[in-house]
């Protein structure tokens, strides 16, 4: 087995915490990952991990070797990227992530076309509404709706996305239309919330006459999958706060109705976020350029059509 492959597995075991996770990341079985670690330990003549039935933790030698191993991997990646840039034939692996909604509608569906253009780039896609730790999980590019919060990351804006509050006609018939944004709380409207373990304090940021304001809305249940919230809203279970392009077809068909358009949710930026060290990698630049153009075109088409029905306001 390649010494460099062994080092790559070692680095990912440290970063992901388990052999199975590192194996999945490197597309090998846990048994192969374990063998690569053993080969590395034999080569170095030291133990790199303390092993128990429940835990795998680096030894002092393992921690020291990790610091150098990361630099080795980064140097090889940068060298490969430089050669690929010169040869105009980018190669290698590219890890990308996106929330479920935009991932399914915009990103994942474009991967085959990207691969047709650049057949030597191996793309690994992870779609999740959870807050992915880009650095810890070795992500090259994350397509996200939100703001940049980590100074170790770089952001390229793609498109400013309008958001809307909407509910089904069945919910409106049962609960009525909130007279104003304050009524969301005062009348205890069922707001369908996106939550996941470790998520921050939840609120909706709505744009009022006095400017953006936080509303601590609540609801009977929540989910870590944004598409589940849309499904519940379509069933008449509550009000959702979604990017307009995600629910435009349902608004057009009358399955959902926009509410409180005078106090809409604050818009959010669709952006590509990536570590500073990936900036010179041509694979990253190609992926961002490709997806930025694709997202702008697809979202533009989705927003060209007018809803079939009128919006409803209190």
Could you tell me the residue ranges of all domains in the chain? 1-84, 89-160+268-306, 163-266
Amino acid 285: pLDDT: 87
**pLDDT at res. 147:** 64
Q: For residues 179 and 312, which has the higher predicted lDDT (pLDDT)?
A: 179
Of the two residues 71 and 294, the one the predictor is more confident about is: 294
> Is-contact 283 81, C-beta < 8 A?
yes
The pLDDT score that the predictor gives to residue 82 is 65
At residue 170, does pLDDT exceed 80?
yes
> Would you say residue 40 has pLDDT above 60?
yes
21 in Cβ contact with 38 (< 8 Å):
no
Predicted local confidence at residue 305, as pLDDT: 63
φ, ψ for residue 170 (rounded to 5)? Answer: -65, -40
C-alpha–C-alpha distance, residues 67 and 160, integer Å: 39
**Per-residue pLDDT for 163 more than 90?**
yes
pLDDT score for 268: 86
pLDDT > 70 fraction of the chain, expressed in percent and rounded: 88
57-71, 185-199, 280-294: which has the minimum mean pLDDT?
185-199
Q: Which fold has domain 89-160+268-306?
A: D-Maltodextrin-Binding Protein; domain 2 (3.40.190)
Which range of 20-29, 93-102, 143-152, 246-255 scores highest in mean pLDDT? It is 246-255
**Structure pTM?**
0.67
d(CA 155, CA 229): 28
Nearest to 74 by CA among 276, 285, 288: 276
Pick the CATH number of 163-266 from 3.40.50.920, 3.40.190.10, 2.60.120.10, 3.40.50.300: 3.40.190.10
How many Cβ atoms from other residues are within 10 Å of residue 117's Cβ? 10
Task: Give yes or no for a contact between 247 and 256, defined as CB atoms under 8 angstroms apart.
Answer: yes
As a whole number of angstroms, the distance between CA 144 and CA 269 comes to 8
- The pLDDT value given to residue 81: 66
Whether 276 has a pLDDT exceeding 80, the answer reads no
pLDDT at 105 over 90: no
pLDDT value, residue 280: 66
pLDDT band at 200 (very low <50, low <70, confident <90, very high): low
CA distance 16 to 56: 11
Per-residue confidence band for 310, with pLDDT thresholds at 50, 70 and 90: very low
Nearest partner of 245 among 267, 217, 274, 229, judged by Cα: 267
pLDDT of residue 69: 87
**Residue 186 backbone phi and psi in degrees, to 5:** -60, -40
Percent helix / strand / coil, the chain, rounded to 5? 45, 25, 35
Evaluate whether 1-84 and 89-160+268-306 have a shared fold. no
Radius of gyration of the chain (CA): 23
User: Does residue 160 register a pLDDT over 50?
Assistant: yes
* pLDDT greater than 90 at residue 102: no
Residue 154, exposed/middle/buried by CB under 10 A (0-12, 13-18, 19+)?
middle
Q: Does position 15 have pLDDT exceeding 70, yes or no?
A: yes
Q: Which of 169, 283, 192, 186 is nearest to 240 (CA)?
A: 192
Q: Considering Cα of 95, then 97, then 100, then 105, what sign does the dihedral take?
A: negative
Whether residue 89 is predicted with pLDDT greater than 80 in this model: the reply is no
Contact assessment for residue 287 and residue 153, using Cβ atoms and an 8 Å cutoff: no
Q: Within a 10 A sphere around the Cβ of 77, how many other Cβ atoms?
A: 17
User: What is the C-alpha to C-alpha distance for residues 181 and 114, in angstroms, rounded to an integer?
Assistant: 43
238: which DSSP letter? -
Distance of CA 167 to the CA centre of its chain: 25
Higher local confidence (pLDDT), 150 or 140: 140
CA atoms 142, 147, 153, 156: torsion sign:
positive
Mean pLDDT of the chain: 85
Q: CA 64, CA 131: separation in Å to the nearest integer?
A: 29
284 against 82, higher pLDDT: 284
Q: How many CB atoms lie within 10 A of CB 159?
A: 16
pLDDT band at 238 (very low <50, low <70, confident <90, very high): very high
The three-point CA angle 95-248-127 to 5° equals: 15
**Token code pair at residue 139:** 């992500």
Percent of the residues in the chain that have a pLDDT greater than 90, as a whole number: 32
Among the ranges 39-43, 101-105, 111-115, 200-204, which has the highest mean pLDDT value?
111-115
Query: Class assignment of domain 1-84?
Result: mainly alpha
How far apart (Å, rounded) are the C-alpha atoms in residues 94 and 79?
15
């Amino acid at each position: 087995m390649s010494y460099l492959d062994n080092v790559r597995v070692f680095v990912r075991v440290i970063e992901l915490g388990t052999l199975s996770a590192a194996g999945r990341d490197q597309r090998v079985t846990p048994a192969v990952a374990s063998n690569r670690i053993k080969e590395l330990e034999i080569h170095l003549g030291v133990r790199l991990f303390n092993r128990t039935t429940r835990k795998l933790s680096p030894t002092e030698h393992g921690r020291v070797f990790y610091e150098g191993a990361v630099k080795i991997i980064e140097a090889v990646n940068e060298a490969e990227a430089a050669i690929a840039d010169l040869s105009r034939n980018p190669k290698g692996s590219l890890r990308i992530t996106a929330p479920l909604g935009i991932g399914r509608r915009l990103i994942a569906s474009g991967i085959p076309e990207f691969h047709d253009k650049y057949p030597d780039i191996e793309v690994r896609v992870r779609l999740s509404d959870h807050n992915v730790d880009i650095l810890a999980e070795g992500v090259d590019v994350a397509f996200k709706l939100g703001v940049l919060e980590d100074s170790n990351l770089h952001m390229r804006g793609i498109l400013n996305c309008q958001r809307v509050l909407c509910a089904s006609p069945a919910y409106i018939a049962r609960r009525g239309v909130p007279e104003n944004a304050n009524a969301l709380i005062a009348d205890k409207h069922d707001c369908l919330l996106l939550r996941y373990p470790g998520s921050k304090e939840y609120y909706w940021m709505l744009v009022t006459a006095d400017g953006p304001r936080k509303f601590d809305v609540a609801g009977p249940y929540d989910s870590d999958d944004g598409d589940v919230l849309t499904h519940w809203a379509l069933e008449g279970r509550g009000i959702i706060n979604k990017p307009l392009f995600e629910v435009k077809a349902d608004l057009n068909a009358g399955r959902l109705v926009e509410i409180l358009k005078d106090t809409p949710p604050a818009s959010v930026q669709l952006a590509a976020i990536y570590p500073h060290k990936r900036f010179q990698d041509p694979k990253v630049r190609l992926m961002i350029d490709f997806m930025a153009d694709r997202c702008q075109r697809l979202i533009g088409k989705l927003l060209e059509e007018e809803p079939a029905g009128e919006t409803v306001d209190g």
